[in-house]
Amino acid sequence: MALMTGEQFIESIRKMNMQIYMFGEKVENPVDNPILRPSLNSVRATYDLAQMPEYEDLMTVKSSITGEKINRFCHIHQSTEDLIKKVKMQRLLGQKTASCFQRCVGMDAFNAEFSTTYEIDKAHGTKYHENFVNYMRFVQENDMTVDGAMTDPKGDRALSPSKQADPDLYLRVVERRPDGVVVRGAKAHQTGICNSQEVIVMPTIALSPEDKDYAISFAVPVDAEGILMIIGRQSCDTRKLEGSQLDVGNSQYGGVEALVVFNDVFVPNDRIFLNGETEFAGMLVERFAGYHRQSYGGCKVGVGDVLIGAAALAADYNGAQKASHVKDKLIEMTHLNETLYSSGIACSAEGSKTESGNYIIDLLLANVCKQNVTRFPYEIARLAEDIAGGLMVTAPSEKDLKDPVVGPYVEKYLKGVNAVSVENRLRILRLIENLTLGTAAVGYRTESMHGAGSPQAQRIMIARQGNINGKKELAKAIAQITE
């Protein structure tokens, strides 16, 4: 089964026995839960589009491991063309779902693990790369969605993992056995974990020798014994319980985050990709972060396309589409969005082959891409809210619109352009609200700030990769300075 259908994916998740908690209660049926289902639909889109001939070139690729046709989300990048198509695929999915479609983290973890395990084996004579290639064969043959888990709770940021008052605030090995290890800790902000079949765990920071037990990377099923998920709240999340598509804004698709607890989870030896080699933790973190920062030049751009279109429609429905300032705001939104896309394409086109054979993006440009993403979506959202007007956050509910007593007043006084129904006007305003303030804002605006690392994390990498000394030499040569 190199390519699953969307329905097969849904049924594969239904068969799992995940321990999921939300609002203080265990979720017995996450697949059909009205709050969680839109996020599952977003992942399903990655399977459905791969079945469509018109998207075959972007969504599928020949595997370098099995030789079979696979979903690109399971691929190990073999060229700069692969890196570019990845970004284009992510933009397409953003356009189709207007939300986070959740498979990017696993894809980026795959490629970071592939090259890093190769270099660990070369230095230490370990078999992590063999373990990982076998794991990737399993993932590709079953077309799996795999969550990438990097972010630890961290506790006191001024202290290293081993110096924390509670040693579990960074995930660690608590027992070593002949057949594997036992791990304990947690991973925060886990996008799509409850819609995944597997999870790849990685360290979250570079580590020193005294933090050896924290230098661990592995993969396990998400329903492995000892794993528990606590779903995070989102703005307007309980609107999904009310049965109104209009009030939700984007009722079909969405995202989901969770705090994932690893309570003494056993990991067999053949699922381990790093185990105590602290000097390689930083490499794994840096490479994963680079790939994931590239991703934001695709997915956020696709969602931005939807938001720009929604803002333009709001202007049409308000009768303001000819106003010069509205035209200028739409131009600015487009300019910012395409600048993000150009960064994603640039860091891909400037990618290079690693020692292991797969391709990595240009790390400097990937960090520039993500630094732009921490800023531009906020301005795009601000301009969309400006164009939409205050009714975006003060409009009555669909029940009021349909109510026999107050409904006629809503219809009378919230009319915009006469040819457009009040319901359609409210639908587009609710979509803008969803993208800028509601549940989708987690996957667009706020995630643009903190996903794949905070703005300062990118600035640190830009400082490292920026080659200031080399630029000084260029200036000296032009100024004819000799020392």
pLDDT at 376: 98
Q: How many domains is the chain built from?
A: 2
Q: What is the pLDDT of residues 153-186, one digit of tens each?
A: 999 999 999 999 999 999 999 999 999 999 999 9
Catalytic residue among 299, 359, 369, 444: 299
Q: What CATH number is attached to the domain comprising 373?
A: 1.20.140.10
In this prediction, residue 440 carries a pLDDT of 82
Give the model's confidence band at 438: pLDDT under 50 very low, under 70 low, under 90 confident, else very high. confident
Instruction: Indicate which residue of 104, 194, 347, 369 is catalytic.
Output: 104
Q: Is residue 1 part of a domain?
A: no
Q: How far apart are CA 56 and CA 61, in angstroms?
A: 8
Q: Does residue 143 sit in the same domain as residue 83?
A: yes
Q: For residue 2, what pLDDT band results from cuts at 50, 70 and 90?
A: confident
296 is a catalytic site residue: yes
Does residue 73 sit in the same domain as residue 148? Answer: yes
The percentage of residues in the chain with a pLDDT greater than 90, rounded to a whole number, is 96
Span 399-427, pLDDT tens digits: 999 999 999 999 999 999 999 999 999 99
For residue 439, the model assigns a pLDDT of: 84
User: Of 252, 282, 312, which residue sits at a domain end?
Assistant: 282
- Reported as a pLDDT band with limits 50, 70 and 90, residue 1 is low
DSSP tag of 259: E
Q: What is the mean pLDDT of the chain?
A: 97
442: which 2 tokens?
Answer: 């987690």
> What CATH number is given to the structural domain containing 121?
2.40.110.10
Task: Please give the torsion angle defined by the CA atoms of residues 11, 13, 16 and 20, in that order, rounded to the nearest 10 degrees.
Answer: -140
Q: Do 351 and 444 fall into the same domain?
A: yes
pLDDT the model gives residue 29: 97
- Paired with 60 in beta bridges are 71
Q: Is residue 369 annotated as a catalytic residue, yes or no? A: no
CB 153 within 8 A of CB 260: no
What is the sign, positive or negative, of the torsion defined by CA atoms of 119, 222, 151, 186?
negative
Average pLDDT on 139-144 reads 98
Same domain, 355 and 255: no
Element (H, E) at 261: strand 258-268
Would you state the pLDDT for residue 443?
A: 82
Tell me what the mean pLDDT of segment 381-391 comes to.
Answer: 97
Give 41's contacts (C-beta < 8 A, 6+ positions apart). 97, 252, 253, 254
pLDDT of residue 243: 94
Asked, for residue 481, whether it belongs to a domain, the answer is no
In whole angstroms, give the CA distance from residue 343 to residue 349: 10
Active-site pick, 291, 296, 317, 444: 296
pLDDT, tens only, 89-135: 999 999 999 999 999 999 999 999 999 999 999 999 999 999 999 99
Amino acid (1-letter code) at residue 60: T
In this prediction, residue 219 has a pLDDT band, given cuts at 50, 70 and 90, of very high
Q: Given the DSSP bridges, would you call strands 172-177 and 180-187 parallel, antiparallel or unpaired? A: antiparallel
The last residue of one of the domains, among 259, 282, 305, is 282
Catalytic residue (one of 292, 341, 398, 444): 292
Residue 130 appears among annotated catalytic residues: no
| Structural domain range at position 225 | 6-282
For residues 43-68, give the mean pLDDT.
98
Q: Are 50 and 3 in contact (CB under 8 A)?
A: yes
Residue 145 annotated in ligand binding: no
**Residues 231 and 299 grouped into a single domain:** no
Q: Is the pLDDT of residue 482 over 90?
A: yes
Same domain, 155 and 223: yes
Whether 277 is catalytic: no
Whether residue 338 lies in the annotated active site = no
Instruction: Name 242's Cβ contacts closer than 8 Å, sequence gap at least 6.
Output: none
Q: What is the CA radius of gyration of the chain?
A: 24
Q: Does residue 446 surpass a pLDDT of 90?
A: no
Instruction: Name the more confident of 445 and 75.
Output: 75
Pair 462, 367: CB distance under 8 Å? yes
Query: Could you tell me if 342 and 440 lie in one domain?
Result: yes
Of the residues 46, 60, 117, 191, only one is catalytic, namely 191
- Same domain, yes or no: 270 and 369: no
pTM for the whole thing? 0.97
Let me know whether 128 and 64 are in one domain: yes
pLDDT in the model for residue 170: 98
Flag whether 230 is in a domain.
yes
Element (H, E) at 379: helix 376-388
Q: Within this chain, do residues 359 and 462 fall inside the same structural domain, yes or no?
A: yes
* In-domain check, residue 480: no
Note whether 274 and 368 are same-domain residues.
no
**What's the number of CA atoms in the CB half-sphere (13 Å) around residue 141?**
8
Residue 174 has φ and ψ, to the nearest 5°, of: -110, -10
pLDDT band for position 215 (50/70/90)?
very high
The answer to whether residue 292 is catalytic is yes
